[in-house]
């Protein structure tokens, strides 16, 4: 598809093998437009790991002929890039919001990588037809948070969009206060969301809906093509991927904060990092989004919200599936897949190598004790890896996290007996547990320190966090301070939908 894009961005030399598969869907799916130039841009951060995944050379960001700083600030483009904003709709906080779309993002196209095509997208690149009341810009604060968490989740092994880089500018942007502009370059096999399907279903554009579903099946779920009901098979595989993703979120204490249907990836990726947070003190009712006044997206509610969102996707796919029983059957798989995925991950966090009927109660009792005593989620599970089953072992490092020591001791006795029944070897179990219980997560206060320094044009802390968070399960004793308890001032940090 030949682009007719007109705009100020210069075309410069670039890496080879650009693709534009999404653009073949047709004009009903997007609007072509150039990004708004970002004045006097500078580098804020780059991800060597993401660049390596894309097959880019180590010096990609400083090659004079590639002009990457200008390209990823929206001031130039590589040959083959075809900037466009896609249209979608969705439910926000459980209410139909109508047409939404890429209000501050532009899809650039795909680069052919060693692992397959990857889409690149600028976030914060200016107004689009879908910006509604927004200005189309992103600010340094939110861009750093998205950049860091994208790469942190990759380090944790959780499916996620990636972040190649962040560029910044001293261009003022009004939010609750005046901030400065930034652009984050996001990477994913696809940015297609549940909301894309909702949009065309809501407007009774069933041919476009079919074209979109066929596109997703062809490029991402080819195994669905030969199913008796390909669109029901599509719904089922998305259901299963979403169930697995929710189990992974819950197991590391990740709170998304704004699980609207337009923020749900059709590929089961974590997408759209805004008011996210990792649990500090364990509170199942924790609400990380200051804008979520009803607590719809509280930590403990995330699995049920995902199921609700899958129902919205099923409703959108019904014109193609036609048989509501088949759609319901696909959705029903969530009811078994999510609990199974969660118990497997939580059992691994406790170092259990076998399964017994009382394991769920053992896990639930630990979580109840943690919640009652507000134990730090990440630190508790990491210290659990040091648990000794030797007679008379005090397990003081873990025990001291709990206020009610008597209740903890009763649980520890049951845990010891459970481990002994499977002949668990402490040293071997500890190694296994440290592979699933991270020592480092992107706590809000860590991101906040990096943001404060970046506002003074000091980006070293961002780079340090990228380095630490890429290996969250390793001891990294030189970075032990990043694994400590959050400071008291961290309780005052608030993140909202503007984050």
Asked if residue 298 has pLDDT above 50, the reply is yes
Q: How many CB atoms lie within 10 A of CB 15?
A: 19
User: Residue 494's pLDDT band (boundaries 50, 70, 90)?
Assistant: confident
Q: How many helices (H) and strands (E) does the chain have?
A: 15, 15
Cα–Cα nearest to 225, from 240, 213, 209, 241 = 213
Pairing mode, if any, of strands 162-174 and 42-46? antiparallel
User: Looking at per-residue confidence, does 397 or 494 come out higher?
Assistant: 397
Question: What pLDDT sits at residue 14?
Answer: 62
Q: Tell me the pTM.
A: 0.95
Indicate if the alpha-carbon torsion angle 153, 214, 327, 90 is positive or negative.
positive
Question: What pLDDT sits at residue 478?
Answer: 97
- For the chain, the farthest-separated pair of C-alpha atoms sits apart, in whole angstroms, at 76
* Residue 125: both structure tokens together: 């690149």
* Residue 123: both structure tokens together: 């976030």
Tell me the per-residue pLDDT of 412-430, one tens digit each, with 9 for 90 and over: 999 999 999 999 999 999 9
Tell me the per-residue pLDDT of 72-128, one tens digit each, with 9 for 90 and over: 999 999 988 999 999 999 999 999 999 999 999 999 999 989 889 999 999 999 999
Which residues are known catalytic residues?
262
Cα–Cα nearest to 119, from 157, 77, 161 = 161
Residues 6+ apart with CB under 8 A from 230: 217, 224
Q: How far apart are CA 363 and CA 410, in angstroms?
A: 14
33-49 mean pLDDT: 97
- Look at residue 138 and give its three-state secondary structure: strand
Tell me the per-residue pLDDT of 428-469, one tens digit each, with 9 for 90 and over: 999 999 999 999 999 999 999 999 999 999 999 999 999 999
Cα–Cα nearest to 440, from 402, 401, 480 = 480
Question: What pLDDT sits at residue 5?
Answer: 39
């Amino acid at each position: 598809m030949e682009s007719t894009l007109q705009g100020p961005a210069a075309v410069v030399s670039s890496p080879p093998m650009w693709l534009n598969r999404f653009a073949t869907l047709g004009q009903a799916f997007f609007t072509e437009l150039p990004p708004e130039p970002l004045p006097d841009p500078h580098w804020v951060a780059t991800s060597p790991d993401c660049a390596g995944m894309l097959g880019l050379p180590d010096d990609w960001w400083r090659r004079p002929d590639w002009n990457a700083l200008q390209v990823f600030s929206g001031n130039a483009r590589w040959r083959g890039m075809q900037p466009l904003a896609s249209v979608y709709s969705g439910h926000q906080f459980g209410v139909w919001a109508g047409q939404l779309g890429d209000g501050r993002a532009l899809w650039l196209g795909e680069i052919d990588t060693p692992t397959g095509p990857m889409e690149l997208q600028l976030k914060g690149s200016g107004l689009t037809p879908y910006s509604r009341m927004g200005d189309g810009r992103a600010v340094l604060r939110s861009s750093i948070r998205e950049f860091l968490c994208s790469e942190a989740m990759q380090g944790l092994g959780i499916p996620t969009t990636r972040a190649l880089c962040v560029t910044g500018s001293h261009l003022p942007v009004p939010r609750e206060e005046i901030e400065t502009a930034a652009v984050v370059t996001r990477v994913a096999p696809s940015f297609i969301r549940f909301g894309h399907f909702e949009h065309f279903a809501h407007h009774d554009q069933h041919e476009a809906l079919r074209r979109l579903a066929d596109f997703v099946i062809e490029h991402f779920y080819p195994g669905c093509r030969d199913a008796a009901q390909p669109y029901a098979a599509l719904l089922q595989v998305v259901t299963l991927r979403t169930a697995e993703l929710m189990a992974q979120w819950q197991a590391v204490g990740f709170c998304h904060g704004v699980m609207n249907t337009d923020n749900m990836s059709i590929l089961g990726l974590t997408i759209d990092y805004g008011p996210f947070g990792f649990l500090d003190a364990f509170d199942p009712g924790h609400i990380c989004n200051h804008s979520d006044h009803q607590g719809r997206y509280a930590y403990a509610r995330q699995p049920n919200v995902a199921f609700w969102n899958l129902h919205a996707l099923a409703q959108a796919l019904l014109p193609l599936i036609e048989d509501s029983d088949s759609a319901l059957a696909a959705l029903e798989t969530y009811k078994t897949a999510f609990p199974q995925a969660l118990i497997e991950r939580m059992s691994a966090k406790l170092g259990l190598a076998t399964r017994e009927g009382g394991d769920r109660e053992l896990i639930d009792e630990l979580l109840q004790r943690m919640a009652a005593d507000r134990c730090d989620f990440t630190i508790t599970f990491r210290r659990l890896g040091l648990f000794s089953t030797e007679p008379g072992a005090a397990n003081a490092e873990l025990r001291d996290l709990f206020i009610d020591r008597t209740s903890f001791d009763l649980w520890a006795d049951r845990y010891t007996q459970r481990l002994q029944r499977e002949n668990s070897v402490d040293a071997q179990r500890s190694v296994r547990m440290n592979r699933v219980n991270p020592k480092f997560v992107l706590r809000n206060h860590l991101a906040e320190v990096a943001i404060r320094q970046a506002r003074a044009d000091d980006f070293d802390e961002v780079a340090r966090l990228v380095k630490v968070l890429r290996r969250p399960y390793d001891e990294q004793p030189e970075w032990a301070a990043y694994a400590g308890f959050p400071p008291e001032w961290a309780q005052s940090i608030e993140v909202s939908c503007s984050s």
